[in-house]
């Protein structure tokens, strides 16, 4: 029961891709709510929500890949 290093690296790449999205999405959502108040513009809010959903999906996929790499019994 060894660790599949290729899958582990792949999972860590997914987590590295999710990290910037996790940091950017709250900023964009905040900008979106301020833009709605001042200019009635919804584009930043929509982009922020899409980034947040993408970060959650990519993060869970990365965790699943990492767990499969660690605990996969072949």
pTM above threshold 0.85: yes
What tokens appear for 45 in the block? Answer: 């809010």
| 42 falls within a domain | yes
Write the CB contacts of 26 (distance below 8 Å, at least 6 apart in sequence).
48, 52
pLDDT score at 72: 81
pLDDT score at 1: 61
pLDDT along the chain (74 residues), means of 10: 86 97 96 92 95 98 95 72
CA distances for 13 relative to 18, 28, 49, 57, 73, angstroms: 9, 23, 22, 14, 22
| Max Cα–Cα distance, the chain, nearest Å | 58
Domain that holds residue 54: 5-69
Indicate the number of domains in the chain. Answer: 1
| 63 falls within a domain | yes
| 74 falls within a domain | no
| 25 falls within a domain | yes
CB atoms within 10 A of CB 40: 7
pLDDT score at 33: 95
């Amino acid at each position: 029961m060894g660790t599949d290093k290729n899958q582990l690296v792949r999972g860590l790449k997914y987590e590295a891709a999710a990290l910037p999205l996790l940091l950017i999405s709250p900023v964009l959502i905040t900008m979106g709510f301020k833009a709605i108040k001042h200019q009635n513009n919804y584009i930043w809010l929509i982009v922020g929500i899409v980034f947040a959903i993408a970060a959650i999906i990519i993060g869970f996929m990365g965790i699943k890949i990492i767990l499969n790499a660690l605990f996969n019994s072949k």
